[in-house]
Structures are given as C-alpha cells and as structure tokens.
Structure 1
Amino acid sequence: MGDIPLSWLFGTLAVLLLVSGFFSAAETSMMALNRYRLRHLVREGRTSAMLAQKLLDRTDRLLGVILLGNNLINAASAVLVTQIAIRLFGDGEMTLAIATGAVTFFILVFAEITPKVIGATYPEALALPAAFVLTPMLRVFYPIVWFVNLFVQALLTIMFIKPRDEEEHQHLSLEELRTLVLEGGKYIPKKHHSILLNLFELEDMTVDDTMTPRGHIESIDLSDDIDDIRMKVATAHHTRLMVYDGSLDKVEGILHVRKFLNASRHEELDKDGIRAILREPYFIPEGTGLLDQLQNFQERLRHIAIVVDEYGEVLGLVTLQDILEEIVGEFTSQSPVAGRLYSKEPDGTVIADGACPLRVLNRKAGFDFPLDGPKTLNGLLLEKLEDIPEPGTKVNIAGHDAEILQVQNRMVKVVKILPIKPEEAAEAEAA
C-alpha cells in the first residue's frame, strides 16, 4: 500500500465513507418507513415498495445484510485511515492515537449521524430506491447472514426474547387511529374529517346521549277524542309516531303515517282500526351503545326504538336518523323537537329547556358543556348547585353565565344562557 499515491488513498476513503453512509441511511429509512403508506404503495403495484415490504417482512435478514456491509466498510476505513496517518506522521503511538480519533470522527459525521438524520427525514425517498440494492445483496451474502443470525437467534433464546411478527405489532388501537385522524386533519377534506371523528366518538356514546326525552316525544294518546287523534296525525312532523293508551308507559305500538293515510282512503279509521295497523313497539334498555343500536336497527329492519329504564318506564325515543346525524351531521335545520328544546336570540343568548340534552346544545348551539356527567341541562345545573334553585338564580356553567328563568316540579324548566364575551374568550385562549 506504500506505493499507492496519497490522493488515491483519500479518494478511496471518501468512497468507503459514502458507501458506509448509504448503509446507515438505508437502515434508518427502512426502520422509519411508514408501514401503512408502504402497504398502500404495494397495492398500487410499485416494484420498489414490494421489494421493501419483502425485506421488512424479515427484519433480522435485512439488518444482517446492512450491518454486514456497514461493518466491513467501517473496518476497511479504519485500516485506510491508519495507513494515511502513518504516511503523514510516521509510525508511533501518537500516530495510532491520531488515526483512532480521525477514523472515529469521520465515521460518526460522514457515515453514521448525517446519513441517519437524512434517512429519518426522508424515509420513503431513500428506503424504496435502497431496496433495489439491498435485495440482490441479500441474495449474494445470504449464507453469511444466515450463519450470523444463527448465533443471534441462539442469544435471543437464551435471553427469553421472542421477536414479534411484523403484522402482529402493526395493528392500531382506536385511540391511535383517532390520533392519526387528528394529526392528518389538514390532508383530509373537512367534512370527511368531521365524520371520522364522529365515528370515534360514537364508540363511547349510548342511546341516552341522543334520544328524544320522554316529555318531547311526538306521540298519540288513544284515550283522546278520535278527531283530535286524526288532527295530530295530519299535522305530525314525523312519519312514525308512538301510540300509547292513557299513560306514556302503556305503549301500544308505532303508527306509520303513510299506513294511516292509505287506510283512511276507504273509510275513516276508529281507534280499533288504528290499533290494527300499529307495528309492535321495539324496546331497548337505557345505556345501550349507539354502535350496537345501529347494528340492531340494521338487523331488525327498524327505524325507531323506545328507551326504557330498569323498571320498564319510558325514558325517551331514539331513531335511526338520530344516530346517523351523530355521524354525518344534521339532515335538516328544521327540527320541531330542537325548536322546543332551545331557541337562539339575535344577540347569541340561548333560551333552553331544562330537559334539553347537553349534546344537542353542544352540537347545534355551539356550546362546550361537559358530557361525562349529567346528560341534560337540568341535571348539570342541579349537580352544580346541589339544590333545587329558585327562579332568577344565576350561575356560571362551563364558562357560560346562565340564569334560571323557571322551575317546575322540582326541575329547572327554562334557562337563559349568555354567550361568552369576546374579551373573555380571548383570555381563555391565552390561558
């Protein structure tokens, strides 16, 4: 090696460091590669993605061939730097120290840290082209890699470590998926982003969160005069109505307005005629998950379910549309139930019924009331005050000033909720 010009030695060293840097960048980029993005590229038929996927399916072999090449190159670089140091400074202990320091510096800066930072920053841009080089290298050096991995596997066995399958630890939990959607919001259309987030929230919701409360169910009482019943059907806001006899807990069935009108074409229906065209009521217990109920609606081919408590008393009514609106948003802005539950004044003040669900106020009126406790505005106020309030009582709930306007039967009946002032909103954001 003493006959080789010094310039050639420096050139060879630069090439070796460049090749070592390639192995370092390939290792980091392969490990940092987004597996779901890679699978998408595989489904699109990208050859480089297919090769990278095959390499990553056996990480031990991939790391084996990368580290084999990297360590051979680094060892050759160390020998070469030593020879250059001897040519420049002569033989001696100081020369060896200089050579050791120099080779460590060159390898760290040019062959390890810099390439790995680049590989971590641009994993896809480096890993996919690198697969074309690493795949034939693995075939050529497979016997050596296999032999080395025998000792690796034996050592892992002694340490009671079992490598996990690549597919096994790539599954995402719901919370991880939720985080992906939140982080990728700017890449997803706003409407789609909202639907995906609503789907995740549906997992933690029950029918209690979205049902129409007992007192706001549009229904027909068979004990009423038949003319009043016909008028209620003719002016109904819904196509399906709950029918009861005397008490809301004595549900007779569900009346489809279209059936009533068709039957009335031939002759005026009496109460027995109405009973004859009723569909059997479908009862569900309180606390039923919304996703489970959505599936139940699909399996039973039903659109309406009556929510009852443990004593069989009617608590409310939930429809297929209620659940779908939790996912995709409101189908219509004209909701007679919502109109009875709250009204919004021009200055932003909201006059709400105490039975109005907090989720309705959050979604339709733009509030941010907590949903992990009481379900209604009345429940939230009673929990806050720990007493039955008097009309005129003022209280701050979730940052909103509210005034209780009416109390009836030990329940808050009507509440006025004031909007947050702009300066208060700015202070909240700054905090």
Structure 2
Amino acid sequence: MDVPYFELIAVIVCVALSILFSGSETALNALSSTRLDRLLETFSKNGVRHRFLSMWRKNRNEALTVILVGNNVVNIAASAMATVAFEQIFQGTGYAGFAIPTAIFVTTFLVLTFGEIIPKTFAQNNPERFVAVTRILYPFAVMIKPIVWFFTKLSAWFITKSGGRLDPLTETVTEEVIEDNIAQAAEQGHLDQEQERLLSSVLELDDTLTKEVMIPRTKVVGVAKGTSLSDLLTAIKEAGHSRYPVYEDDIDQIIGVLHVRDLLGQIGRDKNEIFNLEEILREPYFVPSNKNIQDLLSDLKANRTHLAVVVDEHGGTAGIVTIEDIIEEVFGEIYDEYDEGDEGEDLVIEVGADTWEADAGISIRDLEDVISVEFPDDDSYSTIAGFILKKAGGIPDVGQSITWELLTITVLEADEKHIIRIQITRNHEKQNEEEIAVLKQTGS
C-alpha cells in the first residue's frame, strides 16, 4: 500500500487555511468601528499597510465574500483530498466501502474542531491578535477579484429583492465601544486626564462591588446601645460623622442607625430624664458585600437612606458604605472640614522614586489608581492587606517582604491580628529585562 503523502499534506494545508479564514471572519466582526480605526492607525504608525483591514473597513460585504469563498473552497478541497487519500489507503484491503464514510468522519472532525470551534473561539476573545495575520488575505482577495465581484453582485440582488438591506445597521453602542471612544478622544487631546478618569469611573460603576468601596469593620465608628447621652456627644465630637451604626453587644449585631440631626432634640432635655437611644434610631439597611455599587446607589435612593450596613456571607458585619463612598468612586476623594485635619495621614505617601508607604487597609482599587499597577481580580480580598495575607499565607513579620510582578511589598508595621502599614517598591530592572525579552521575541 502506497501512503498518499501528497493528499494527506494537502488536507493539513487546507485545514490550516480554514483556521485562517474562519478565525478572520470572527475576529473582524468582533471589532467595533472605533477599534478598527485605532488598529489601522497603529499599523500605519508602525509602517505597516494592512490592506485587507482597510478593505474590511471600506467595503465589508466584499471582504466578507473573500473570506467565505476562501473558507468554503479549502473545506471542500480538504474533503476531496481526504476521500482520495482514504480510497488509496483502503484499496486492496477488502474494506474499500469504508473509505468514503471514514473520509467524511475525519474531515468533519478536523474542520469542525480545528477549522471552526478553536479558531473562532480564540478570535472572538482575542480579535486584535488574530487580525494581525489577516494581512495575508489581501493577495488572495486580488486573485479572486472577479469571483468576489460576481458573488457580491449576486447576493446583493437576492438581498434587495427579498426586502433586505445591504448596509449594516447602526453599530450597537456597548460599554466596550464607549471605552474605546473615551480612550481615542483622550489620545487625540479632546479629553484631559481628569475628564477621561471621570468618564471611565462612571462606566466602572457596574463592575465595582460594595466591598471594594466600603469602610471595613475595623474602621467603623459604632455606638453601643446603652451609651449615655454625654458619652455619645463626646464620641460624636471626636469622630465628626453625621451617621453612626448602633449595635447591641458587638458590631455584628447592628440594631439601627443614629443620625446626629435626630439627636439634637435630646440635648436640652432634663438631665434626670432617662435617655433611650433606641427611640431615635432609624432602621438599618443591610446589603451583601458582593452587590455592585450602581445597583446599591439606586437602592439607597429608593430607600431614602445614606448609609448601608454591609454583611458578609456569614451574616456578620463586613463594614458600612455611604452614598459619599460611591460618589468618590466617580469624582475622587471628597474632603470636608473634618477630613482636612487628617492630611498628614494619607493612605498612600510617595517617599521616593517608585517607592510608597501605605496604610494596609487601603482598597486595591484606590492603590491601583495611585501607583498605576493592576492587581489580579480576586473576590477573596479587597484591600492590600488581604492581598498580602493571601500571597504570604499569613501575617508576615515586620520587615518581611513579598514579591509580585514588578513590586516588592515590605511590612513596616503589624500586630498579631493585622497588617498595619507597608512599603511598596517598583523594580525597574525587572521591567527592563521583560521589555528586552519582548523585543527579542518580536524581532525588534
């Protein structure tokens, strides 16, 4: 039996081309007009003429026809070559009748798996990476231009006669499209840095969880139910807040919320009269820690309340969140007359070149904004202290460091229960080494 090398190699080549065509179709359709324009601009700046991408941008129907013609031709060719190959393999074996069914099964498996599912899934999730290889489709488009013209005109005639439209509907405005438009406007100088940050923050509201913006329980200023009026007034004077959670035995048993305004009517009462804090409490509003803050803001407005008690999965108090905390996610930190006295206690202080000292209770999101580093998404922590605990497997000793990506994080202050203060250093030498490695890989 002669092994049909030519036919088998032809099948492999056809499947490889099927990967290119089917992946290209998915990748190009996954890109918004804004992202297409940005890609073309990037290619142009790098001295690369991506003619097929330009063709897709200007005449999508013709470019799509090129892809579809190519994909169907190579799939049919793969089936034909596989049939010839298996007829030769089964010839003289007494099983010649199995040649065509085997060819159909093998070709269907190869085309469906490697020519459709894998490339289309990859291209859908990584469109910009796949689009880079579609440059090689342009010579093919030139070669079959008469065929493309014929099929484009034929399909246009049928579509028109059936009452369809040839031009695509207006592009759906998704969050991704808006993000691209914001980034492009900022690059072109139409938005300053603060405007870009503000618009991006609004889009992130739906992706931000309550636990990321809440005041953690360790920093909550609460009031015990049996607190006397004089002690209560002293505590309010020291804390300077307008609302306080009131608890029964501990912070996990919050029974109400005290508003300072409701307390004003109690100040002039007879000293001999018994003060009952529960009489002026407002009903607490509880929310889960994984609720997104856009929904939370709507709920707070609907319930006419400014403060919510955040509960964890065990029903304990994880912290509290206010409307001000949510607004600060969009507009940045809001300081009042009480905050101004704490300027020397900033959560993050730059102490040197690429070196910061930070309160370990700072949220990951706030820290990312300050030091321009993106930490991995993980629901098990929301502060840098939680990040360190997960990486170190416990509370590190003072002076102990952990390394992650380009950062070295050193514990400056801690006790047996908490990490209190840390130092963060960005390692530029490691960054330079990684950049050199990337340049070598790309041949730059």
User: Deviation per CA, 1:160-190, whole angstroms, max 9, x where unpaired?
Assistant: 99547754x4222111111111111121244
User: Contact between 1:255 and 1:279, CA under 8 Å: does it hold in 2?
Assistant: yes
Q: Aligned partners of 1:324 and 1:190: how far apart in 2?
A: 19
Give the superposition deviation at 1:248: 0.4
Amino acid corresponding to residue 295 of structure 1 in structure 2: S
Q: Aligned partners of 2:171 and 2:411: how far apart in 1?
A: 52
Does residue 355 (structure 1) correspond to residue 352 (structure 2)? The answer is no
Amino acid corresponding to residue 197 of structure 2 in structure 1: S
Amino acid corresponding to residue 174 of structure 1 in structure 2: E
User: Contact between 2:257 and 2:283, CA under 8 Å: does it hold in 1?
Assistant: yes
Does residue 263 (structure 1) correspond to residue 266 (structure 2)? The answer is yes
- Corresponding residue for residue 331 of structure 1: 334
Superposition pairs of residues 70-149 of structure 1, within 5 angstroms: none
Unaligned ranges ≥5, structure 2: 1-32, 35-58, 60-152, 439-444
Amino acid corresponding to residue 182 of structure 1 in structure 2: A
- Corresponding residue for residue 3 of structure 1: none
Amino acid corresponding to residue 306 of structure 1 in structure 2: V
User: Deviation per CA, 1:108-151, whole angstroms, max 9, x where unpaired?
Assistant: xxxxxxxxxxxxxxxxxxxxxxxxxxxxxxxxxxxxxxxxxx98
User: Contact between 1:221 and 1:229, CA under 8 Å: does it hold in 2?
Assistant: no
User: Contact between 1:216 and 1:337, CA under 8 Å: does it hold in 2?
Assistant: no
Amino acid corresponding to residue 185 of structure 2 in structure 1: G
Structure 1 residues 234 and 407, CA gap change in structure 2 (3 angstroms) = closer
Q: Aligned partners of 1:289 and 1:172: how far apart in 2?
A: 22
User: 3-state DSSP class of the match of 1:203?
Assistant: helix
Structure 1 residues 193 and 356, CA gap change in structure 2 (3 angstroms) = closer
Number of matched pairs: 283
User: Contact between 1:404 and 1:412, CA under 8 Å: does it hold in 2?
Assistant: no
User: 3-state DSSP class of the match of 1:247?
Assistant: coil
Structure label with greater radius of gyration = 1
Does residue 370 (structure 1) correspond to residue 367 (structure 2)? The answer is no
- Of 392, 398, 401 in structure 2, the residue corresponding to residue 391 of structure 1 is 398
- Corresponding residue for residue 408 of structure 2: 401
User: Contact between 2:212 and 2:363, CA under 8 Å: does it hold in 1?
Assistant: yes
Q: Aligned partners of 2:410 and 2:163: how far apart in 1?
A: 64
User: Contact between 1:241 and 1:256, CA under 8 Å: does it hold in 2?
Assistant: yes
Amino acid corresponding to residue 423 of structure 2 in structure 1: I
Q: Aligned partners of 1:383 and 1:166: how far apart in 2?
A: 49
Give the superposition deviation at 1:199: 1.1
Superposition pairs of residues 241-280 of structure 1, within 5 angstroms: 241-267=244-270, 272-280=275-283
Q: Aligned partners of 2:432 and 2:156: how far apart in 1?
A: 60
Give the superposition deviation at 1:318: 0.9
User: 3-state DSSP class of the match of 1:389?
Assistant: coil
- Of 292, 306, 310 in structure 2, the residue corresponding to residue 307 of structure 1 is 310
User: Deviation per CA, 1:390-419, whole angstroms, max 9, x where unpaired?
Assistant: 33211224533222234444x442232144
| Greater alpha carbon shift after TM alignment, 249-258 vs 412-421 | 412-421
Structure 1 residues 383 and 421, CA gap change in structure 2 (3 angstroms) = closer
Amino acid corresponding to residue 397 of structure 2 in structure 1: E
Q: Aligned partners of 1:336 and 1:399: how far apart in 2?
A: 34
Q: Aligned partners of 1:154 and 1:220: how far apart in 2?
A: 76
Q: Aligned partners of 1:288 and 1:339: how far apart in 2?
A: 33
| Greater alpha carbon shift after TM alignment, 353-362 vs 315-324 | 353-362
- Corresponding residue for residue 26 of structure 2: none
Unaligned ranges ≥5, structure 1: 1-32, 35-58, 60-149
User: 3-state DSSP class of the match of 2:426?
Assistant: coil
- Corresponding residue for residue 80 of structure 2: none
Q: Aligned partners of 1:172 and 1:204: how far apart in 2?
A: 18
Structure 1 residues 371 and 316, CA gap change in structure 2 (3 angstroms) = farther
Give the superposition deviation at 1:292: 0.7
Structure 1 residues 387 and 219, CA gap change in structure 2 (3 angstroms) = closer
User: Contact between 1:359 and 1:371, CA under 8 Å: does it hold in 2?
Assistant: no
User: Contact between 1:402 and 1:415, CA under 8 Å: does it hold in 2?
Assistant: no
Does residue 285 (structure 1) correspond to residue 288 (structure 2)? The answer is yes
- Of 335, 344, 361 in structure 1, the residue corresponding to residue 349 of structure 2 is 344
User: 3-state DSSP class of the match of 1:187?
Assistant: coil
Structure 1 residues 399 and 153, CA gap change in structure 2 (3 angstroms) = closer
Structure 1 residues 337 and 400, CA gap change in structure 2 (3 angstroms) = farther
Amino acid corresponding to residue 393 of structure 2 in structure 1: E
RMSD over aligned CA atoms reads 3.8
Amino acid corresponding to residue 191 of structure 1 in structure 2: E
Give the superposition deviation at 1:233: 1.7
Amino acid corresponding to residue 283 of structure 1 in structure 2: F
Give the superposition deviation at 1:298: 1.7
Structure 1 residues 427 and 328, CA gap change in structure 2 (3 angstroms) = farther
Amino acid corresponding to residue 184 of structure 1 in structure 2: A
User: 3-state DSSP class of the match of 1:395?
Assistant: strand
Identity of matched residues, %: 24
User: Contact between 1:343 and 1:351, CA under 8 Å: does it hold in 2?
Assistant: yes
Structure 1 residues 351 and 218, CA gap change in structure 2 (3 angstroms) = farther
Does residue 184 (structure 1) correspond to residue 185 (structure 2)? The answer is yes
User: Contact between 1:286 and 1:308, CA under 8 Å: does it hold in 2?
Assistant: yes
